[in-house]
Amino acid sequence: MARGLPRSWSSLVLPFLLIAAIAITAGCSSPAPKPVYFPGYPIGFVERGVASWYGPGFHGNKTANGERYDMHQLTAAHRTLPLGSVAVVRSVSSGRQVTVRINDRGPFAKGRILDLSLAGAQALGMTGSGTDQIELRVVGFEGRTAEMGALRIQVGAFAEPQNAMSLLNRAKKFYATGRIQTVDLPEGRRYRVQVGEFRTEAQAEAAAADLESNLSVQPFVFRDDS
């Protein structure tokens, strides 16, 4: 019996308290709400190709999302996936797999789709060979929930700025918008020539094929996060 309450009151109050306790307990055990993805977020996206890895020469450099690259963390660079994407990466050759978070842009090398951190490469056992055939699957994201940036095409990278300017002027005959982005890499300063602004990968890839044919270059489509 509740202290200080008449018997008739306690018979009404105690059942109410019991129901409230059950409701609170049920609320505590309910599943966590599912994350809300922004429009166009590629959950379930699957891609197959060659992965490489990058390590000591980039350790401590700023990544595309503003973090400092830590080669001992499970991260990776991808040219177009939204920064913050979480992907399961499986080695086709060994079957080993690792979960990484996309926090950087790259690789800017023909025929490669992903640049793993040293830790990611070690998890797949590919540090010796340097590359591996992989399958990646986007399973979630961590980080910002903003709209994805526009897609651009990189048509070249040069050690000499005048060479970059020459290519940019040629590329502008096909796409008026263009720029030269200066980056400092372990091998020295490079000037990247980037053109166009596209909303879909189909549009960007078609434009890249056109530029490859007309300019005799090896273009790469990437997402501009600036």
Instruction: Please report, for the domain that includes residue 207, its CATH number.
Output: 3.30.70.1070
- Is the dihedral angle over the CA atoms 44, 78, 64, 72 positive or is it negative? positive
pTM of the model: 0.77
Domain count, the chain: 2
Range of the domain at 58: 46-141
**How many Cα atoms occupy the beta-carbon half-sphere of 186 within 13 Å?**
8
Do 70 and 131 fall into the same domain? yes
Do 72 and 137 fall into the same domain? yes
Do 135 and 50 fall into the same domain? yes
pLDDT tens, residue order, the chain (226 aa) = 444 444 444 444 444 444 444 444 444 444 444 544 555 667 889 999 999 999 888 898 999 988 999 999 999 999 999 999 999 999 999 999 999 999 999 998 889 999 999 999 999 999 999 999 999 999 998 876 556 788 999 999 999 999 999 999 999 999 988 999 999 888 899 999 999 999 888 999 999 999 999 999 999 999 988 7
Instruction: Please report, for the domain that includes residue 69, its CATH number.
Output: 2.40.40.10
Do 124 and 54 fall into the same domain? yes
Per-residue CA distances from 84 to 87, 96, 146, 172, 212 (Å): 10, 22, 11, 32, 30
| 178 falls within a domain | yes
Do 70 and 90 fall into the same domain? yes
Annotate 157-179 with DSSP letters as a single string: EESSHHHHHHHHHHHTTT-S-EE
Annotate 83-123 with DSSP letters as a single string: TTEEEEEEETTT--EEEEEEEE----STTEEEEE-HHHHHH
Q: Whole-angstrom Cα distance, residue 27 to residue 75?
A: 35
**Residue 30's CB: how many other CB atoms inside 10 A?**
7
Single-letter amino acid, residue 75: T
| 32 falls within a domain | no
Q: Whole-angstrom Cα distance, residue 7 to residue 224?
A: 72
Burial class (CB in 10 A: 0-12, 13-18, 19+), 95: exposed
Do 91 and 135 fall into the same domain? yes
Do 129 and 94 fall into the same domain? yes
